Structure 1
Amino acid sequence: MAADIDEQPAGYARLLDSANAAAIAHVAAVVAERRPRHVVFTARGTSDHAALYGAYLTEIRLGLPAGLASPSVVTLFGARPDLSDALVVGVSQSGGSPDLAEVLRSARASGALTLAVTNAPGSPLAETAELSIDIAAGHERAVAATKTYTAELLALLMLIEGIRAGDGVLPAAEREALAALPDLATRTLADDTPAQLAPRYRFARQLVTTGRGYAYPTAREAALKLMETSYLPALAFSGADLLHGPLAMTDPEVPVLAVVGSGPGGRSMGEVLPRLGERRADVVVVGSADVPGATRLAVPEVDERYAPLLDILPLQRLALALALTRGEDPDAPRGLKKVTATM
């Protein structure tokens, strides 16, 4: 897991190189020409959080309605939704889950434009879809996904910005900003604060993660990593949803990881943090925002769209360090396999 985490800056650079960028630009141009009226994502597990990030990008940057499909609608209940005007995107590191392939097969039969975003270009998912993007993350050794998750994020970002451009080619300013990500990721991973923080949670019985907008998928993915590797019950909430009731469960015995950036989503957390303070919750702030008096996992400031590619890195390292601190083996989580086949 440690090796996979450390490979992420190189993975960013690889996906941004000319050949991979050109392949994503081609797919983006095809999608832009087809002019879908809405976008539906389908995914499971970690990839579901990448898909949620893609849905935020789609609605904010493209102005198109977006949502996440429930595969069981097709596979268990036999429904065949009319997706003739949609782009349907399957996101999966392995591309091997039969239910995701079935969703794309059904969508394509109804006239949808289908796209697979996967680390396995020869997988059933990629073969089912009309279009595919190889996230080029390389072999991921650990069961808990890390580098494939961030590669999915970056591929979706490049895809959606390419669709927005119309011809798939990102504006020069966008390319320049993305080119800085590998170095920023290296800087983020060099900070040893996550390992120092892990003993603080050694005996925690539950934990809450929270964030808004682009940060919400990060909160959900962080909660999943903690559950997978440390078996620590972790509940993820949108900052807005946290105020609608779950706030009551927070207290000094329930740690809170709050993902807070410098954009609109981060600023909106200004309503949440004081309420957590009233509950005397044990709060650690993750991100670029400077919150006076708060313990921080600091991340370089970038455009809020890019922040999920950096914010998750210290949280992955925290999950790794916490598993080791609690005497667990993060490379062999009990009951988990690299590919989970569901229908």
Structure 2
Amino acid sequence: MAAEIAEQPAVLAGLLHRRARFAEVAGVIARKPPRFALLAARGSSDHAALYAKYLIEVLLGLPAGLVSPSTVTLYGARPDLRDCLLVSVSQSGGSPDLLEFTQTARKQGALTVAVTNTPSSPLHKAAELAIDIGAGTEQAVAATKTYSATLLALYLLVDAIRGGDGSAAAGIGELAQEAYEIPVQRAVDRYRFVDRIITTGRGYSYATALESALKLAETSYLAARAYSGADLLHGPVAAIDEDTAVLAVTGAGRGGAAMHDVLAEVAQRGADVLALGSSCSEVPAAVRVPVPEIAEELAPVLEVIPVQRIALGLALARGGDPDSPRGLRKVTKTR
């Protein structure tokens, strides 16, 4: 896990050199413009898909939603997907439910795109169009480099669809290296004895909050729960007290600004807040982990890197082995 976290700056920089493929796929999509988009994924890829949902709705102005594969695989639904763009996201490309949903969606009229790290996978072959994120073999059970590479790939795809050239991501490899070098030991030392943690963020960074909770749960066995900053105030905030740790993603931009009122409420309840992001200095927090600033829609690519290092550090500090989390396998197959 440590080695693969460290590979991310090079992996992200490498993706930028393959922008021609994203333009090629975007060109095919432009010949059959969709009215709406759906995204199919599981696990960490589901969080990447949620990030893509924000990109599609904000940057392309198209309605987008996350699919429930079981509607097709278990219940036999056959929705009318004419004029739909389906993006199936999976680092392995091997989950049977995503494969079946993609095959069915194609038969039902959708234009299908697979975004995977495994070009030899069934999913990659089942979709009409496919993008290889090119992160290289990932051996750790906890997804790290494949997650950030998937985020960047989805951004480059959406940006290409709107006619962009990916220039907003220029230099992201160097910024990722800066994010990797941010000290996180203070956070590890402070939260190593925590049993319960809430993660929260808004906008694009809600995906970071979700991925943070997953990483902390699967590597450190923490009872971690993620909420949108807005949803947190709609009830769950009542469970926050002095014994609650809160990891809050607070970047520059509208999503980060919307977290200020949320964290003011959380602070009043005595929670121990770890603020992470490019504007973490602007909110009340016990520990702050600054992240290099970039365009808001790309911030999740950088934010997740120190989160991964915190999860790794906490797992080791708590006596665990993040490379062999109990009960987990690298590829989980569901239907």
- Using the TM superposition, give the Cα deviation of residue 272 of structure 1 relative to its aligned residue in structure 2, in angstroms: 0.3
3-state SS of paired residue (1:224)? helix
1:206-239 Cα distance to aligned partner (Å, 9 max, x none)? 1000000001000000000000001101000000
- Using the TM superposition, give the Cα deviation of residue 145 of structure 1 relative to its aligned residue in structure 2, in angstroms: 0.2
3-state SS of paired residue (2:296)? coil
Q: 1:333 aligns with which of 321, 325, 328?
A: 325
2: CA distance between counterparts of 1:316 and 1:25?
31
Moved over 6 A (4+): none
Contact persistence 1:256–1:281 (CA under 8 A): yes
2: CA distance between counterparts of 1:156 and 1:306?
10
Q: 1:212 aligns with which of 187, 202, 215?
A: 202
Contact persistence 1:38–1:86 (CA under 8 A): yes
How do 1:60-71 residues align onto structure 2 when only pairs under 5 Å count? 60-71=58-69
1:277-331 Cα distance to aligned partner (Å, 9 max, x none)? 1101101111011225532110011110010011111110000000000000000
1: CA distance between counterparts of 2:185 and 2:136?
26
How do 1:1-343 residues align onto structure 2 when only pairs under 5 Å count? 1-17=1-17, 20-165=18-163, 170-171=164-165, 174-175=166-167, 177-192=168-183, 194-289=184-279, 290-291=281-282, 293-294=284-285, 295-343=287-335
3-state SS of paired residue (2:260)? coil
1: CA distance between counterparts of 2:41 and 2:205?
19
1: CA distance between counterparts of 2:314 and 2:259?
26
TM-score, normalised on structure 2? 0.98
Contact persistence 2:182–2:291 (CA under 8 A): no
3-state SS of paired residue (1:257)? strand
2: CA distance between counterparts of 1:22 and 1:250?
48
Q: Return the letter of the residue paired with 2:311.
A: A
1:76-133 Cα distance to aligned partner (Å, 9 max, x none)? 1111111111001110000000100100100000111001000001100011100000
Q: Return the letter of the residue paired with 1:191.
A: I
Contact persistence 1:50–1:149 (CA under 8 A): yes
1:32-65 Cα distance to aligned partner (Å, 9 max, x none)? 2210000000000000000000000000000000
Q: Return the letter of the residue paired with 1:42.
A: A
Q: Return the letter of the residue paired with 1:339.
A: V
- Using the TM superposition, give the Cα deviation of residue 333 of structure 1 relative to its aligned residue in structure 2, in angstroms: 0.6
2: CA distance between counterparts of 1:119 and 1:5?
16
- Using the TM superposition, give the Cα deviation of residue 195 of structure 1 relative to its aligned residue in structure 2, in angstroms: 2.4
Q: Return the letter of the residue paired with 1:178.
A: A
- Using the TM superposition, give the Cα deviation of residue 266 of structure 1 relative to its aligned residue in structure 2, in angstroms: 0.7
- Using the TM superposition, give the Cα deviation of residue 196 of structure 1 relative to its aligned residue in structure 2, in angstroms: 2.6
1: CA distance between counterparts of 2:298 and 2:112?
25
2: CA distance between counterparts of 1:247 and 1:274?
12
2: CA distance between counterparts of 1:153 and 1:46?
10
3-state SS of paired residue (1:209)? strand
Distance 1:69 1:340, change over 3 A: same
3-state SS of paired residue (2:162)? helix
Q: Return the letter of the residue paired with 2:118.
A: A
1: CA distance between counterparts of 2:119 and 2:284?
47
Contact persistence 1:84–1:107 (CA under 8 A): no
3-state SS of paired residue (2:137)? coil
Which deviates the most, 197-206 or 277-286?
197-206
1:160-203 Cα distance to aligned partner (Å, 9 max, x none)? 000011xxxx34xx42x3121100110111122x2231121222
2: CA distance between counterparts of 1:54 and 1:33?
21
2: CA distance between counterparts of 1:75 and 1:158?
30
Runs of 5+ unmatched residues, structure 2: none
2: CA distance between counterparts of 1:293 and 1:274?
7
3-state SS of paired residue (1:270)? helix
2: CA distance between counterparts of 1:77 and 1:199?
48
2: CA distance between counterparts of 1:86 and 1:270?
37
TM-score, normalised on structure 1? 0.95
Runs of 5+ unmatched residues, structure 1: none
Which deviates the most, 20-29 or 213-222?
20-29
Aligned residue pairs: how many? 333
Contact persistence 1:88–1:107 (CA under 8 A): yes
